[in-house]
């Protein structure tokens, strides 16, 4: 059994800490029925609504302690004062959000959070998700530029973070450009993207916006526990924020290494492949269900799925994980298995060899070495003595060519014998023959040889043999090679 594909998900496990990190903390908005910043910085948030006011709802763990930006009459969002002390090197934002599934009915990007530069009035950093009828994505922008040169995207066929509270953290650190922009969900790193270390952000006159960025607004998303840091929190600190605040049901976390993944391979009779998922999940209460072509696979209820490598396994696979409070549907994995050709046989007529298995291409071997002059030819004429073998190949889409096993060897020993000499006459009688053949030639015989159609020598007589016994030969076509003092001459005959 071989492992075909591992659907890796990033995972970690951190112990809860007693309080949230304070290093670089600029503001904390718990939304406990107010918009107050509970730090000594006393930042302000003001609602921008059209025309209804911001309301409060049940939070991720507490009644009436969360912000509701629902507004059927237009965009509702919050905008801060301009007194945040940011630099152009580090930033960490974390918050809880409840994304309503209704957000997926439109097509425009939806922004969860943004920081803006007061001079240019464009988003310098933002966290967004893009909604659509077929694909939903979570996206982070380090610099909201016209070319979107610094962003990361997590693509899902179905966005898993719906109708449940989840914790989102956006971390930016220009000092490590290779992983300078990262997104955490529920305390775990799920994606990262390099950033351009040469770009700068105006360090003064900064604002934050919750529920808006770049002109797009969220209409049905709820928020809780907004934290704004001017520093770049460590992985452990981000996990600490999540674990400290998470008093509800544990969530399943994960994302694919690659979206839209697929595999095309050749069938291997009797072999199996394994699909494996890796993810972070509670120690109990997780249900697994593998799905093929939209239909649940009976009894496929573990974190691995084993299937035979044959055409019957072709299809689109996914894995659904569920707990009492969350559902995660993995991206699709598409499998295409092409049939392999059977082991070919070789038919030999004299030195002419034919592969009996029909393919799109052929590779011939002589004593184990490839013969480039014969490549692609179903029928060849042996040019040297030795053991000939062949493999047949099918040309499948995407260069996924499948080849047969190597054929059994056919031995050729008659190359170079029986060259016709126009000055030597040779007659055989009777032809066809049952028991014996008389040989007549214009020269003195010094030997007689008989070969079958596979080039194997079956008779050898030294001296002036004018008659040979063929009684014991199986019925078929043979070649008699007459060796004379003036050269060799060859002629076919049939044994009845």
Asked, for residue 281, whether it belongs to a domain, the answer is yes
Distance CA 413, CA 330 (A): 61
**Inside any domain, residue 253:** no
- Spacing of C-alpha 1 from chain mean position: 19
pLDDT at 305 over 50: yes
If you search the block for the tokens 């998922």, which residue do you land on?
277
Domain boundary among 311, 338, 365: 338
Say whether both 209 and 303 belong to one domain.
no
Burial 249-279 (b: 16+ CB within 10 A, else e): ebbbbbbbeeeeeeeebbbeeeeebebebeb
**Conformational region of residue 99, where left means phi above 0, alpha means psi within -120 to 50, and beta covers everything else:** beta
d(CA 121, CA 108): 21
Rg over alpha carbons for the chain, rounded to the nearest Å, is 39
Give domain status of residue 417, yes or no: no
Q: What is the pLDDT of residue 43?
A: 92
Q: Which residues of 66-89 are buried (b: 16+ CB within 10 A; e: fewer)?
A: bbbbbbeeebbbbbbbeebebeeb
Per-residue pLDDT at 407: 92
Within 10 angstroms of residue 47's Cβ, the number of other Cβ atoms is 18
- Whether 432 and 391 share a structural domain: no
What's the pLDDT tens digit per position in 133-149? 555 566 666 654 555 45
Higher pLDDT, residue 130 or 432: 432
The pLDDT of residue 389 is 93
> Is residue 364, in this structure, part of any structural domain at all?
yes
Full DSSP string of 244-308: HH--S----B---SSTTEEEEEE--TT-EEEEEE--B--SS--EEEEEETTEEPTT--SSEEEEE
> What residue numbers bound the domain in which 466 lies?
426-495
Per-residue pLDDT tens digits for 309-358:
777 888 888 888 776 655 666 667 788 888 778 889 888 877 788 898 88
Name the percent of the chain lying above pLDDT 70: 65
Which of these, 182, 200, 209, 230, lies nearest to 39 by C-alpha position?
A: 230
Q: What is the pLDDT of residue 40?
A: 92
- pLDDT category at 482 given cuts 50, 70, 90 is confident
**Which of 338, 360, 381 is the last residue in one of the domains?**
338
**How many domains does the structure of the chain reveal?**
4
- The predicted pLDDT at position 39 comes to 92
In this prediction, residue 363 carries a pLDDT of 92
More confident call, 486 vs 280: 486
Give residue 224's pLDDT band: very low, low, confident or very high (50, 70, 90).
confident
Q: With cut-offs at 50, 70 and 90, classify the pLDDT of residue 285.
A: low
- Domain shared by 109 and 131, yes or no: yes
Residue 371 lies in a domain: yes
Most confident of 84-93, 110-119, 158-167, 372-381: 372-381
Of these ranges, 43-47, 226-230, 282-286, 344-348, the one predicted with the greatest mean pLDDT is: 226-230
Residue 10 lies in a domain: no
Distance separating alpha carbons of residues 382 and 361, to the nearest angstrom: 18
pLDDT digits (tens, 9 = 90+) for 246-268: 765 555 554 433 334 677 778 77
Rounded distance, CA 328 to CA 291, Å? 13
Q: Are residues 319 and 456 in the same domain?
A: no
Please give the mean pLDDT across all residues of the chain.
Answer: 74
pLDDT at 151: 63
> CA neighbours within 13 Å on the CB side: how many for 147?
3
What is the pLDDT, as a whole number, of residue 3? 39
211 in the same domain as 82: yes
Return the higher-pLDDT residue of 260 and 278: 278
Same domain, 134 and 241: yes
Which residues, at least 6 apart from 91, have a Cβ–Cβ distance to it below 8 Å?
A: 115, 125, 170, 171, 172, 229, 230, 232
Dig out the tokens for 279 from the structure: 């993810």
182 and 92 belong to one structural domain: yes
Q: What is the pLDDT of residue 398?
A: 65
Cβ–Cβ under 8 Å, residues 273 and 7: no
In angstroms, the CA 484 to CA 446 distance is 5
436 within some domain: yes
Contact 9, 279 (CB under 8 A): yes
**pLDDT attached to residue 17:** 31
Q: Is the pLDDT of residue 100 over 80?
A: no
Q: How far apart are CA 367 and CA 387, in angstroms?
A: 5
Residue 198 pLDDT more than 90? no
pLDDT tens readout for residues 22-74:
889 999 998 887 888 999 999 988 877 654 556 666 656 565 577 877 655 55
CA 44 to chain centre: 47
The answer to whether residues 76 and 56 touch, using CB atoms and an 8 Å cutoff, is no
Q: What is the DSSP string of 431-443?
A: SSBSSEEEEEESS
Highest mean pLDDT among 10-14, 92-96, 274-278: 92-96
Q: Is 255 part of any domain? A: no
pLDDT band for 370, please (50, 70, 90 cuts).
Answer: confident
d(CA 216, CA 120): 17
């Amino acid at each position: 059994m071989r492992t075909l594909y591992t659907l890796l998900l990033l995972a970690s496990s951190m112990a809860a800490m007693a309080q949230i990190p304070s290093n670089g903390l600029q503001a904390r908005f718990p939304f406990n029925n107010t918009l107050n910043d509970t730090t000594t910085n006393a930042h302000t948030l003001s609602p921008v609504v059209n025309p209804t006011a911001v309301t409060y709802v049940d939070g991720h763990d507490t009644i009436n302690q969360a912000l509701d930006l629902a507004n059927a009459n237009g965009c509702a969002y919050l905008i801060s004062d301009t007194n945040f002390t940011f630099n152009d090197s580090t930033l960490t934002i974390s918050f809880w959000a409840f994304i309503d599934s209704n957000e997926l009915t439109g097509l425009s990007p939806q922004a969860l959070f943004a920081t803006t530069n007061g001079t240019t009035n464009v988003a310098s950093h933002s966290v967004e998700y893009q909604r659509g009828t077929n694909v939903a994505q979570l996206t982070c922008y380090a610099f909201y530029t016209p070319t979107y040169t610094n962003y990361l995207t997590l693509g899902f066929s179905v966005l898993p973070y719906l109708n449940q509270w989840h914790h989102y953290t956006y971390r930016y650190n220009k000092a490590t450009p290779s992983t300078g922009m990262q997104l955490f969900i529920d305390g775990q790193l799920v994606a990262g993207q390099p950033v351009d270390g040469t770009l700068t952000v105006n360090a003064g006159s900064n604002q934050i916006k919750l529920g808006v960025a770049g002109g797009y607004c969220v209409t049905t998303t709820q928020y809780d526990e907004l934290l704004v840091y001017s520093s770049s929190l460590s992985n452990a600190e981000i996990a600490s924020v999540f674990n400290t605040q998470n008093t509800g049901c544990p969530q399943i976390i994960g994302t694919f290494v690659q979206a839209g993944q697929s595999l095309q391979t050749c069938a291997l009779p009797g072999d199996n492949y394994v699909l494996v998922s890796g993810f972070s999940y509670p120690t109990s209460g997780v249900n697994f269900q593998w799905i093929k072509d939209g239909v649940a696979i009976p009894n496929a209820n573990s974190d691995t799925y084993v299937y035979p490598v044959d055409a019957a396994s072709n299809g689109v696979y996914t894995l659904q994980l569920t707990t009492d409070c969350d559902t995660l549907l993995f991206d699709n994995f598409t499998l295409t298995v092409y049939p392999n050709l059977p082991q070919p046989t070789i038919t030999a007529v004299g030195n002419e060899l034919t592969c009996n298995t029909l393919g799109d291409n052929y590779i011939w071997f002589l004593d184990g070495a490839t013969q480039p002059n014969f490549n692609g030819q179903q029928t060849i004429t042996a040019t040297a003595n030795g053991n000939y073998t062949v493999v047949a190949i099918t040309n499948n889409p995407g260069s996924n060519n499948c080849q047969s096993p190597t054929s059994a060897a056919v031995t050729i020993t008659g190359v170079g014998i029986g060259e016709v000499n126009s000055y030597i006459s040779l007659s055989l009688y009777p032809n066809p023959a049952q028991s014996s053949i008389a040989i007549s030639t214009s020269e003195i015989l010094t030997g007689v040889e008989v070969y079958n159609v596979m080039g194997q020598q079956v008779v050898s007589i030294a001296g002036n043999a004018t008659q040979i016994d063929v009684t014991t030969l199986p019925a078929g076509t043979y070649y008699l090679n007459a060796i004379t003092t003036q050269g060799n001459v060859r002629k076919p005959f049939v044994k009845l």
